[in-house]
Amino acid sequence: MTANPLTSEGPATRPSNRRALILDAAIGLFREGGYPATSVDDIGKAVDVSGPAIYRHFSSKEEILLEAIRLAADEVHAANGEARNSTADPRTLLAAYIGAYVVCALDRSTLIAVWTTEARHLSSERRSPVTRRLRSWSNEWVEALTAIRPELSTEQARVLVGGAIGLITSLATNDDGSLGRAQLSGMITAMALATLDTPF
């Protein structure tokens, strides 16, 4: 007699996306309570596995955080790529960079918040490659801004870009829902553009 697969007892099948589920749960917990206060057991509990079972997928809690920061870097680079493919005009391109990051930061606010607040907990050895990759992302903004405002030095442009990115990140990741998406997006975009237009 053939056993009914729905009722037969046997080893539980592990979800094929367990690693992704662990990462997603950890990102939420890091955002809610901070990286230092989140234990491997907390992460395991969130995905219904024992804490030690996490180590089948990640070597340490720090590796989970590193994977989250890498994912954030992937997201912002993808946003820049879409914008870059849309135009070659520096002014239009810079506005596209801003618009793409606003969408990314609003859509992925938890991930972006973890990147900006928790990456400091990575060891310098692990943080440095991701920092370089994120710097290459912001450098594209700097190149577009200096093409529009040739009176700016690279360092001055970098300060303005950092301010605009920080503004977008802060407003998008602390949205309390009091404004509609379109209104909030428009406001953030306008403020970022104004930041980049600040005279030195």
- Residue 7: inside a domain, yes or no? no
- Residue 30: inside a domain, yes or no? no
CA distance 200 to 197: 9
- Residue 35: inside a domain, yes or no? no
- Residue 130: inside a domain, yes or no? yes
pTM exceeds 0.75 = yes
In this structure, which long-range contacts are made by residues 73-77, counting pairs with CB atoms below 8 Å and at least 24 apart in sequence?
A: 73/115, 73/130, 73/133, 73/134, 73/137, 75/104, 75/108, 75/111, 75/112, 76/101, 76/104, 76/112, 76/134, 76/137, 77/133, 77/137
- Residue 12: inside a domain, yes or no? no
- Residue 151: inside a domain, yes or no? yes
Question: Residue 187 sits in a domain of what CATH number?
Answer: 1.10.357.10
Token reading at 33 = 């309570």
- Residue 79: inside a domain, yes or no? yes
Q: How many structural domains is the chain composed of?
A: 1
Residues of the chain with pLDDT > 90, as a percent, come to: 81
- Residue 10: inside a domain, yes or no? no
> 154-187: per-residue pLDDT in tens?
999 999 999 999 999 999 999 888 889 999 999 9
